[in-house]
């Protein structure tokens, strides 16, 4: 079902000027030949240098070539060692399947998106996979008469229209009660990856700034949202010092509308302790003022 995305991304990346060069084509041929012969390899198996001035986020030719081949499905991530990705030929990783036409792939992706979201605007369905454009998504939706139209209340109290799965009410009734625990969410958690939806439904503005130059960051390099029940109560920047077994809290930002009473502080301490255990760390150090 992802073949259309391999094609779209492969063509998109391939249109960039560098990928039209002889250097790019040579790097791609060399990487493919080596992996075909030697088996799965990581980026550490290649050693090419950045061309020209060293600018922030500049990448050497072999990393650019690996990206292009990965986006196009020529390569696939087969495993990791200490967080380092290893690439193998896509044909060795992806299961063999009968070719499907583009409409079948688009139908499966659209149906899977709304099934996971429960309710969504056309834009949210489109952004779920990022595998179709707005025109394709709206065209697909014209054939989905089984979806029901619902009104969704936003964080600001207003209502907007969305499409929902037919059994939405049954899903709501069957849903587990919301825990009152305070939780640290990974920046890539599916619940928050659509930043527009997050802001609309929860009133929580968030972005992942790892790839933002430091001077332009609003918050920090790796900042975790804090979710208590169904409410976002703040964000926190945490770093691991594995050589000393310590987890350091560098910065903490409470939401302006949230009061940090003792019970909420205790919940945060309990969640930090749980997170430290998960990371194999023994001590929590606050380098900023605790709430």
pLDDT tens per residue across span 118-162: 999 999 999 999 999 999 999 999 999 999 999 999 999 999 999
207 and 274 share one domain: yes
C-beta of residue 284 within 8 angstroms of C-beta of residue 249: yes
CB atoms near residue 141 (< 10 Å):
16
87 and 106 share one domain: no
Q: What is the pLDDT of residue 61?
A: 84
pLDDT band for position 56 (50/70/90)? very low
69 and 137 share one domain: no
CATH number, domain with residue 161: 1.10.10
Closest CA to 72 of 23, 3, 1: 3
Among 151, 174, 197, residue at a domain's last position: 174
Per the structure, the complete domain to which residue 46 belongs is given by 3-93
Q: What would the mean pLDDT of 102-112 be, rounded to a whole number?
A: 95
**pLDDT at residue 201 is higher than 90:** yes
12 and 106 share one domain: no
Closest CA to 123 of 107, 105, 142, 136: 136
**pLDDT at residue 219 is higher than 50:** yes
Q: What is the pLDDT of residue 284?
A: 97
Tell me whether residue 88 is in a domain. yes
85 and 106 share one domain: no
Q: What is the pLDDT of residue 52?
A: 57
**pLDDT at residue 54 is higher than 60:** no
135 and 53 share one domain: no
Q: Which of 19-33, 188-202, 256-270 has the lowest mean pLDDT?
A: 19-33
Tell me whether residue 291 is in a domain. no
Question: Token match 């069957």: residue?
Answer: 174
- Cα–Cα dist 89/69, whole Å: 9
CATH number, domain with residue 233: 3.40.630
Among 49, 76, 93, residue at a domain's last position: 93
pLDDT tens per residue across span 9-30: 888 887 887 777 777 888 889 9
- Cα–Cα dist 58/167, whole Å: 48
Among 152, 174, 196, residue at a domain's last position: 174
C-beta of residue 153 within 8 angstroms of C-beta of residue 203: no
**pLDDT at residue 247 is higher than 80:** yes
Q: How far is CA 198 from CA 73, 75, 150, 206, 268, in A?
A: 30, 33, 18, 8, 22
Phi, psi of 219 (to 5 degrees): -110, -80
Name the token pair of 187: 């920046």
Q: What is the pLDDT of residue 259?
A: 94
Burial level of 281, CB count in 10 A (0-12/13-18/19+)? buried
134-141 vs 102-117: helix axis angle to the nearest 10?
Answer: 80
Contacts of 222 (CB under 8 A, 6+ apart): 187, 210, 237, 238, 239
Number of helices (H), then strands (E), in the chain? 10, 11
231 and 282 share one domain: yes
219 and 255 share one domain: yes
Closest CA to 12 of 110, 106, 131: 131
Name the token pair of 22: 């002889």
Domain count, the chain: 3
Give percent above pLDDT 70 in the chain: 97
186 and 273 share one domain: yes
Tell me whether residue 264 is in a domain. yes
Contacts of 60 (CB under 8 A, 6+ apart): 48, 49, 50, 51
């Amino acid at each position: 079902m992802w073949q259309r995305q391999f094609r779209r991304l492969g063509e998109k990346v391939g249109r960039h000027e560098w990928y039209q060069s002889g250097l790019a084509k040579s790097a791609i041929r060399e990487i493919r030949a080596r992996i075909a012969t030697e088996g799965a390899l990581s980026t550490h198996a290649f050693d090419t240098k950045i061309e020209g001035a060293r600018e922030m986020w500049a990448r050497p030719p072999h990393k650019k070539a690996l990206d292009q081949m990965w986006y196009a499905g020529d390569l696939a991530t087969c495993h990791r060692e200490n967080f380092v990705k290893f690439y193998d030929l896509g044909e060795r990783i992806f299961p063999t399947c009968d070719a499907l036409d583009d409409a079948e792939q688009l139908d499966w992706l659209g149906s899977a998106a709304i099934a996971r979201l429960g309710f969504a605007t056309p834009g949210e369905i489109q952004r779920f996979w990022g595998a179709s454009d707005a025109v394709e998504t709206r065209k697909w939706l014209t054939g989905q008469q089984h979806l029901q139209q619902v009104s969704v209340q936003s964080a600001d109290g207003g209502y907007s229209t969305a499409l929902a799965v037919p059994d939405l009410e049954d899903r709501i009734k069957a849903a587990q009660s919301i825990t009152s625990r305070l939780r640290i969410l990974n920046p890539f958690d599916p619940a928050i990856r659509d930043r527009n939806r997050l802001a609309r439904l929860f009133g929580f503005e968030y972005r992942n700034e790892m790839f933002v130059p430091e001077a332009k960051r609003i918050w920090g390099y790796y900042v975790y949202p804090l979710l208590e029940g169904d409410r976002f109560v703040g964000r926190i920047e945490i770093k691991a010092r594995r050589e000393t077994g310590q987890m350091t809290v560098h910065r903490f930002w409470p939401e302006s509308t949230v009061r940090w009473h003792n019970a909420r502080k205790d919940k945060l301490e309990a969640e930090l302790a749980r997170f430290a255990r998960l990371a194999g760390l023994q001590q929590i150090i606050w380098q900023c003022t605790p709430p």
